[in-house]
A and B are shown apart, each in its own frame.
Chain A
Amino acid sequence: GENVEQHPSTLSVQEGDSAVIKCTYSDSASNYFPWYKQELGKRPQLIIDIRSNVGEKKDQRIAVTLNKTAKHFSLHITETQPEDSAVYFCAASIQGGSYIPTFGRGTSLIVHP
Chain B
Amino acid sequence: NAGVTQTPKFRVLKTGQSMTLLCAQDMNHEYMYWYRQDPGMGLRLIHYSVGEGTTAKGEVPDGYNVSRLKKQNFLLGLESAAPSQTSVYFCASSYGGAGNNEQFFGPGTRLTVL
Contacts and interface: CB of A to CB of B under 8 A. Distances in A.
Q: Is chain A's interface secondary structure helix, strand, loop, or mixed overall? A: loop
B60 to A, nearest CB: 12
Contacts, number: 52
Contacts of B40: 9, 105-106
Q: Is chain B's interface secondary structure helix, strand, loop, or mixed overall? A: loop
A49 B94 CA distance: 14
Contact of B105 (A9, A32, A45, A104): A45
B47 to A, nearest CB: 11
Contacts of B97: 96-97, 99
A43 B90 contact: yes
Nearest to A93: B101
A43 B101 contact: no
B98 A89 contact: no
Q: How many residues of B sit at the interface, in one of the four size bands?
A: 20 to 34
Q: How many residues of A sit at the interface, in one of the four size bands?
A: 20 to 34
A43 B103 contact: no
Nearest to A96: B98
Contacts of A103: 42-44
B50 interface: yes
- Between B43, B90, B98, the greatest number of chain A beta carbons within 10 A of the residue's beta carbon is seen for B43
Shortest 6 CB-CB contacts between residues of A and residues of B = A105-B42, A43-B105, A96-B98, A103-B43, A46-B102, A106-B42
Interface of B: 31, 33, 40-45, 48, 50, 58, 90, 94, 96-98, 101-103, 105-108
